[in-house]
Amino acid sequence: MSISFPNESQNYRAARDALLQRELHLRREMESVAAELRALPPGGEVPEDYLFDCIGEDGTGATVPMSELFRGGDTLMLYHYMFPRHAQDSRPGPTRGVTAQLSLEEGPCPSCTALIDMWEGTLPHFEGLGGNLAVVAKAPIERVVAFARDKGWRHIRLLSAAHNSFRRDYGGDGPDGRPVPIMTVFKRWPDGTVRLHWASELIHATSDPGQDPRHLGTVEPLWTLFDLTPGGRPRADEQIEYPCCRGPQETRPS
């Protein structure tokens, strides 16, 4: 393969071709890791059919067992939403809606919120192709749904583990009770047994100096977009709101 762009130097083309070889190697490695992930042996059996809080079709509080979350399929992804956030997270909280009345410690994590924002538009495609994802917070379900309404989320399935031990059992709440933003993937086997298939355990591994945890790096388009820019990822964290942008419920001038 040979390609060039207008007015590029020989030094640029040589460096770009060398980098391309590393990109090819990275793609092979990513495909290999993904294949190993798919081929993992059966994980531990889920100890109980956890009962989650949700909002029913009539708009009132309801419960749903984990077994029904599979929707007839064999795969279930559950993201552990840090809502409430980590106690040491001092980033500003929401400025409008019911959630703005909460103390900062009771409110949602800006980074988790940004990730869910990214997934919101993806879910119709993901589910349309057979994917199955839900988000599990620790906060009361009414509080989570109220925040989702303020955010304009329509596609994300929201659950609360306020009345079960799911998050504690599967790493969403650490031994000290502090929240952990972990992804857990479950598989229902032909005999009906539900087992953990994979979890983003990389969140617990020590990062190299100056490196993000990247435990869900390939599913965070915000950061992978920045990876393609000359400046790379900014030295800043996600926020609930930005001065440049307005929320979906605010009135914009005509």
CA-closest candidate to residue 112, choices 210, 39, 161, 183: 183
Classify burial at 91, counting beta carbons within 10 Å of its beta carbon; exposed 0-12, middle 13-18, buried 19 or more.
middle
Residue appearing with tokens 């994979």: 198
What is the spatial distance between Cα 153 and Cα 134, in angstroms, rounded to a whole number? 13
- Rounded to 5°, angle at Cα 121 from 119 and 125: 90
What confidence score (pLDDT) does residue 254 get? 33
What confidence score (pLDDT) does residue 111 get? 96
CA atoms within 13 A on the CB side of 50: 26
What confidence score (pLDDT) does residue 63 get? 98
* Structure tokens belonging to residue 200: 């983003």
Greatest C-alpha distance within the chain: 66
DSSP string, 99-154: GGGS-GGGS--HHHHHHHHHHHHHHHHHHHTT--EEEEESS-HHHHHHHHHHHT--
What is the spatial distance between Cα 70 and Cα 63, in angstroms, rounded to a whole number? 15
What confidence score (pLDDT) does residue 2 get? 79
Classify burial at 150, counting beta carbons within 10 Å of its beta carbon; exposed 0-12, middle 13-18, buried 19 or more.
middle
For the chain, which ranges sit under pLDDT 70? 1, 245-254
What confidence score (pLDDT) does residue 214 get? 86
Question: Parallel, antiparallel, or unpaired: how do β-strands 51-55 and 183-188 relate?
Answer: unpaired
Consecutive H or E run containing 74: none
